[in-house]
Amino acid sequence: MSCILTAEHVHKIKAARKVLKEFKYEPAKLEKGYANKSLYINISNNSIVSKDVTEKMKDVFIGGKGFGLWYLWNAVNPLTKWNDPENEIVISPGPIAGITQYPGAGKSLVVSISPTTGSVVDSNVGGHFGPFLKFSGWDALEIQGKADREVIIFIDGNKGTISIEEAPLESVDTHLIIEELTEMYAESDEDKRNISVVSSGTAAQNSYIGLLNFSFYDKRRKSPRVKQAGRGGIGTVFRDKKIKAIVVKFNGVKGDLNNPVDLKKIQELGIKLHKEIHDFDAIQTQKREVGTANLVEIMNDYDLLPVNNFKYGNHPETWKIDSKQIKKKVTQNMPDGCWYGCSMACAKAVDGFILKTGPYKGQKVLIDGPEYETVAAVGSNLGIFNLDHVLECNFYCDTYGVDTISLGTTTAFLMECYESNILNKEITGGLELTFGNKDAAMELLHQMSRGESFGKIAGLGVRKIKELLVKEYGAEPQFLNDIGMENKGMEYSQYISKESLAQQGGYAMTNKGPQHDEAWLIFMDMVNNQIPSFEDKAEALHYFPMFRTWFGLMGLCKLPWNDIEPANNRQTSEPAKVPEHVQNYVELFNSVTGKTINKQELIVQSERVYNFQRIFNIKMGFGQKVHDNPPYRSVGPVTVEEYLSRQDRYDQQMKELIGVAPDGKTIEEKIKITRKYREDQYEELRQTVYKRRGWTENGIPTLEHIRNLGIDFPEVLEVVNKHL
């Protein structure tokens, strides 16, 4: 880590702390993956309450994101805005979280009302906080209210104490505060690994796209590192509540703390997967070696890497930012995970990187990552093929508390607006926001941190910038809506979906917005052609979002599901589902909780929560057909240059699929014909998906479906009945 933390500095900030409220409790012993208690903290009046987790909650909402949605549902009303005191941040790890025998079991789910979408958002994050929270006796942490001064919440899971502390002198930027708090709350160097900090940063308080960092202590580097809950602006909510950090301390991690019913079975499942990873990772996805960054060159090869605001899918200079180059920068070069026992070990870090810009210019820092999404978002999608820029931007996004995906997609949109003469230097305060201009892109981020100039505008995110450009500068709304890569107010993650109808739905028919963690079907659809009919695509858009929702109920990472595959997976009837690993998850859940689900019931568990989240959106004024409309850039070519870049393909499709001869037509005419066809295809897909999901033509879950799922609570029916 970069900062030079002196004992004097730590003493000074410690001396300035003032305990505003202290609460003592008897840490619950976990039973079958649950503490059966959740922690409620209101920082408006400094109240701290221990709540019981009921059997019904566990049956219906399971844990993780399910618990978060249920608590938030009860906390807000349809008029609640993201910055109202009623809004909550709920962190919950899930019943499987914290096991150390099976890879990828250290996740937390964070739920809140989002500043960018105005509705409920969930974000999945690694680091040690979630398991430590559960081992401290809490299945979930709800934070409500708004503090009138800067505070830190500290949970000591061994002593059984919780305190809300005034924190006037601590830093806000993450790379500083995680060091300060790790030092302050640890009793020795050895004790530092027992600390995990949730923090954000200065740009989160000046933008709507703020993220939360969750720390874990790296013993080899002797430094805390971070993982991010990036999507939906929850870091902005965090800073609006005047929370500088949440700290949990727990000493005594062991493999059996969840008190599962069948530890031996969990060990067997874990050993089997560890062996697969050991034997096959090097010839499969190389997560242990390069993390997720290997996708950079793969996406480029398949024309799926976003370039210049998702106009194009590849670029000849991609090699400059691909995983081979990143590997040269990663300093540890050995498997590196974010939770104990994860042999998938996809975490990576760059040590000793010397910053070239910003307030920490000249300092040597540690950078966690970069992940594929970051490389694409702040690299190729901005037309920037410079790895040092990507690393610098990665560092500043993390420490300033900004989501790299939202920042990248927003900056790409601004760059296209600039090149289309919608923006100019006068409006941007002198920034020449052309594609490829790395200096302008970095300065925009620094301005966001300072809350000044055009960076403040950029921090609004794509949807609100579109509204502003129309209102203040008379921009043409349709063009902005076509090229502004957002849906429901959330910026798109980094895949080109134009040639995959299923993925267009996988992005726009999501609950929280276009994040690929619900469904990623591009290869099944565009490359493998395995789901050719509307019904096939709808089935995939039912199964995969439901299956992947399940990870968020449990506290699990998605990667060990299908970024490693058993040797015989190719011989199975549905290799895309990785059936053996699905069965592992069924057995893992049963072995922890003592319940007896099968793979069908696993999907039903998710379906309950998924449909509840859809209804939650409806409660907040969203969640209907109109909110599942994609921007046309995600469906087909908007501009002439974009059409020309794939003219052969589009002309051929016009002839073979649409039945229209392209000869003699202008590019503009061809764009129009292509658009009509593609939008009709999307509409037909949408109706097929709604039907498969048990929804009406307007995207509302039917009463029959709600009853079948057992979520027909009076308050749920009240919301739905208004729309049926």
Partner 1 sequence: MIKVNNRPVEWQEGMTIKKLINILKYSYPVLIVTINGEHIPREKYEAATVSDGDDVKIIHPIAGG
Q: Which stretch binds partner 1 (CB under 8 A): 63-71, 243-251, 555-563, 612-620?
A: 555-563
Report how far Cα 425 is from the mean position of its chain's Cα atoms: 33
Q: Which is nearer to partner 1, 109 or 147 (CB)?
A: 109
Question: Per CB under 8 A, does 576 bind partner 1?
Answer: yes
Using CA atoms, how far residue 644 sits from 311, 484, 640, 641, in Å, is 11, 20, 6, 5
Question: Which one, of 440, 548, 474, 487, lies nearest residue 310 by Cα?
Answer: 487
Q: Which residue has the tokens 């968020």?
A: 552
Kindly provide the b/e burial profile for residues 674-710, where b requires at least 16 CB atoms within 10 angstroms of the residue's own CB: bbebbeebbeebbbbbbebbbbbeebbbbeebbeebe
Q: Which residue has the tokens 């989240």?
A: 613
Q: Is 98 helix (H, G, I), strand (E, B) or coil?
A: coil
Quote the least distance from Cβ 214 to partner 1, whole Å: 22
Q: Which stretch binds partner 1 (CB under 8 A): 230-238, 482-490, 560-568, 608-616?
A: 560-568
Contact 215, 196 (CB under 8 A): yes
- Binder of partner 1 out of 561, 612, 690, 695 (CB under 8 A): 561
Quote the least distance from Cβ 448 to partner 1, whole Å: 27
Q: Which stretch binds partner 1 (CB under 8 A): 129-137, 425-433, 576-584, 667-675?
A: 576-584
- Binder of partner 1 out of 577, 614, 627, 686 (CB under 8 A): 577
Question: Per CB under 8 A, does 283 bind partner 1?
Answer: yes
Quote the least distance from Cβ 514 to partner 1, whole Å: 12
Binding mask 506-545 for partner 1 (x = CB under 8 A): ----------x---xxxxx--xxxx-x-----------x-
Question: Per CB under 8 A, does 563 bind partner 1?
Answer: yes
Give the DSSP H/E element, type plus range, for residue 168.
none
Question: Per CB under 8 A, does 573 bind partner 1?
Answer: no
Q: Which is nearer to partner 1, 173 or 565 (CB)?
A: 565
Q: Which is nearer to partner 1, 266 or 501 (CB)?
A: 501
Binding mask 366-385 for partner 1 (x = CB under 8 A): ------x-------------
Q: Is 157 helix (H, G, I), strand (E, B) or coil?
A: coil
Tokens of 446: 């620094």
Contacts for 306 with CB less than 8 Å, ≥ 6 apart: 312, 313, 376, 380, 381, 412, 494, 495, 496
Q: Which is nearer to partner 1, 581 or 619 (CB)?
A: 581
Give the bridge partners for 312, in sequence order. Answer: 307
- Binder of partner 1 out of 558, 665, 675, 692 (CB under 8 A): 558
| Euclidean distance between CA atoms 86 and 88, whole angstroms | 6
Question: Per CB under 8 A, does 651 bind partner 1?
Answer: no
Angle between helices 7-15 and 174-185 (to 10 degrees): 80
| Euclidean distance between CA atoms 352 and 361, whole angstroms | 13
Contact 183, 10 (CB under 8 A): yes
Q: Which is nearer to partner 1, 392 or 525 (CB)?
A: 525
Quote the least distance from Cβ 493 to partner 1, whole Å: 8
- Binder of partner 1 out of 253, 298, 427, 604 (CB under 8 A): 298
Q: Which is nearer to partner 1, 186 or 576 (CB)?
A: 576
- Binder of partner 1 out of 297, 403, 491, 651 (CB under 8 A): 297
Q: Which residue has the tokens 């937390």?
A: 108
Question: Per CB under 8 A, does 492 bind partner 1?
Answer: no
Question: Per CB under 8 A, does 279 bind partner 1?
Answer: no
Quote the least distance from Cβ 498 to partner 1, whole Å: 16
Kindly provide the b/e burial profile for residues 492-513, where b requires at least 16 CB atoms within 10 angstroms of the residue's own CB: bbbbbbbbbbbbbbbbbbbbbb
Q: Which stretch binds partner 1 (CB under 8 A): 334-342, 346-354, 383-391, 572-580?
A: 572-580
Q: Is 711 helix (H, G, I), strand (E, B) or coil?
A: coil
Question: Per CB under 8 A, does 495 bind partner 1?
Answer: yes
- Binder of partner 1 out of 570, 573, 596, 666 (CB under 8 A): 570
Q: Which residue has the tokens 């971070």?
A: 226
Site of interaction with partner 1 (CB under 8 A): 283-286, 295, 297-298, 301-302, 372, 493, 495, 516, 520-524, 527-530, 532, 544, 548, 558, 561-563, 565, 569-570, 575-578
